[in-house]
C-alpha cells in the first residue's frame, strides 16, 4: 500500500472582499487507516481486518457555519454555486471511478468546499452530514448539480444517500460491503412521491469542530471508522450487504451510526453528535 501525500489540503480564509466578506475554502483529506484513500489500493478494514478495496466514497454536507469568537454567534458560509455546490449543500467526492470504484463512481473528484463569510474572527466550525429535508426529496434527474449525481439517490420517497462509502471485500467470492446513510421511515403514497413531513429517522449528523479557526487547519475523514467494529465477513440475513440505514439491517448499521454520533433508533444525534469519529480537525499550530 502506498502512502500518498496530501494534495494541498488546507483550510484557509482569503482576503476580505468588497462588502465586508472574506473567502473561505474548506478542504477535506479522506483516509483509510491513516493513509490517503484511493481506489485500487488494498486495505484492511472491519473488526476482522478483512482485505478490501475502496469502491465508492462520497459525502453530502450542508449548513456550513463558523462561530464568531467575539459574539458566539454561528454565521453561515455562503457557498459558491458550481457543479459541486448548490444552495447550502456540497458534495465531497473522494473516488475517481477506477478499479473497484468503476462500478458506481465517476472520474471527477472534489475535496474542497468554497464560499464567503462575513469578515470577522472565528474559532469553531460546524456543518451537517446530509441533505436538508426541503431538498432531500427532489427529482434527481432534473435537480441541479451536485444533487443529480449518479448513485447518490434512492427514490423521491427515501431521498438522497448522505454518505456512500463502499468496500469491495476480498472473500472467497468477491463481494461488497456498502455504507449508505440517508433518512429512513419516510412516509408518502408511493416511492415516486415525495413526503410532505420529515422522515421518522432523519439520520443527519451535525459535526462541530471546536477550536477550529478560519485559517490554518484541514479536516481528515477517516473512512475506516464507518466499519471499524463491523464484521465485513458476515451480513444480516435477508438484507442488502452492509448498512442501508433500514431497520432490516440490524447490527450492520450500528458501527456506522456510532461513527457518525447518531442514534440508530431515533436517527438523531447522541449528545450533539460529539462522539462522532469520522471527521478529525487538524490545525497547523497544534501539528507543529
Alpha-helical regions (H) of 144-273: 254-260
The answer to whether residue 6 sits within a structural domain is: no
pLDDT of residue 251: 86
Q: Average of pLDDT values for 223-235? A: 92
Q: Average of pLDDT values for 176-192? A: 95
pLDDT at residue 248 tops 50? yes
The answer to whether residue 7 sits within a structural domain is: no
pLDDT of residue 235: 80
pLDDT at residue 110 tops 90? yes
The vertex-158 CA angle with 148 and 53, nearest 5°, equals 65
pLDDT of residue 233: 83
* 26 closest CA partner among 219, 241, 276: 219
Cα 117 → chain centroid: 22
The greatest distance separating any two alpha carbons of the chain, rounded to the nearest whole angstrom, comes to 61
The answer to whether residue 95 sits within a structural domain is: yes
The answer to whether residue 1 sits within a structural domain is: no
**Cell 451535525, residue located:** 206
Sorting pLDDT into bands at 50, 70 and 90, what band is 285? low
pTM over 0.75: yes
Domain of residue 252, residue span = 12-287
Under 8 Å between Cβ of 64 and 79 = yes
The answer to whether residue 3 sits within a structural domain is: no
Q: What is the mean pLDDT of the chain?
A: 90
Q: Which three cell numbers stand for residue 274?
A: 460529539
pLDDT of residue 84: 98
1-10, 63-72, 183-192, 230-239: least confident range: 1-10
Q: Average of pLDDT values for 29-39? A: 97
pLDDT of residue 284: 66
Going by the DSSP 8-state scheme, the letter that residue 178 receives in this structure is: E
Total domains in the chain come to: 1
Greater confidence (247 vs 112) lies with 112
Q: Average of pLDDT values for 1-18? A: 40
Q: Coil, helix or strand for 260? A: helix
pLDDT of residue 236: 79
Buried b (16+ CB within 10 A) or exposed e, 205-236: bbbbbeebbbebbbbbbbbbbbbbebebeebb
pLDDT of residue 14: 44
Q: Average of pLDDT values for 54-68? A: 97
pLDDT at residue 239 tops 60? yes
pLDDT of residue 241: 85
Give the pLDDT confidence of 126-175 residue by residue, as tens digits: 999 999 999 999 999 999 999 999 999 999 999 999 999 999 998 755 68
Sorting pLDDT into bands at 50, 70 and 90, what band is 46? very high
pLDDT of residue 288: 46
Sorting pLDDT into bands at 50, 70 and 90, what band is 12? very low
Amino acid at each position: 500500500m502506498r502512502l500518498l501525500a496530501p494534495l494541498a489540503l488546507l483550510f484557509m480564509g482569503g482576503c476580505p472582499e468588497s462588502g465586508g466578506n472574506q473567502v473561505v475554502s474548506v478542504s477535506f483529506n479522506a483516509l483509510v487507516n491513516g493513509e490517503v484513500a484511493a481506489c485500487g489500493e488494498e486495505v484492511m478494514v472491519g473488526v476482522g481486518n478483512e482485505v478490501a478495496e475502496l469502491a465508492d466514497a462520497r459525502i453530502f454536507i450542508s449548513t456550513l457555519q463558523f462561530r464568531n469568537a467575539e459574539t458566539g454567534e454561528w454565521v453561515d458560509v455562503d457557498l459558491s454555486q458550481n457543479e459541486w455546490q448548490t444552495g447550502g449543500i456540497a458534495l465531497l467526492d473522494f473516488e475517481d471511478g477506477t478499479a473497484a470504484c468503476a462500478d458506481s463512481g465517476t472520474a471527477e473528484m472534489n475535496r474542497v468546499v468554497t464560499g464567503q463569510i462575513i469578515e470577522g474572527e472565528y474559532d469553531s466550525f460546524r456543518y451537517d452530514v446530509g441533505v436538508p429535508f426541503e431538498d432531500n426529496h427532489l427529482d434527481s434527474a432534473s435537480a441541479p448539480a451536485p444533487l443529480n449525481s449518479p448513485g447518490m439517490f434512492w427514490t423521491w420517497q427515501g431521498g438522497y444517500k448522505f454518505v456512500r462509502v463502499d468496500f469491495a471485500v476480498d472473500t472467497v467470492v468477491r463481494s461488497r460491503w456498502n455504507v449508505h446513510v440517508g433518512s429512513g421511515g419516510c412516509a408518502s403514497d408511493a416511492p415516486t412521491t415525495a413526503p410532505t413531513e420529515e422522515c421518522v429517522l432523519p439520520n443527519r449528523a451535525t459535526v462541530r469542530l471546536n477550536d477550529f479557526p478560519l485559517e490554518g487547519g484541514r479536516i481528515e475523514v477517516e473512512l475506516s471508522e464507518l466499519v471499524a467494529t463491523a464484521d465485513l465477513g458476515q451480513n444480516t440475513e435477508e438484507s442488502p450487504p452492509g448498512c442501508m440505514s433500514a431497520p432490516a439491517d440490524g447490527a450492520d448499521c450500528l458501527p456506522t451510526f456510532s461513527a457518525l454520533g447518531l442514534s440508530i433508533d431515533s436517527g438523531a444525534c447522541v449528545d450533539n453528535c460529539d462522539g462522532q469519529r469520522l471527521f478529525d480537525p487538524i490545525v497547523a499550530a497544534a501539528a507543529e
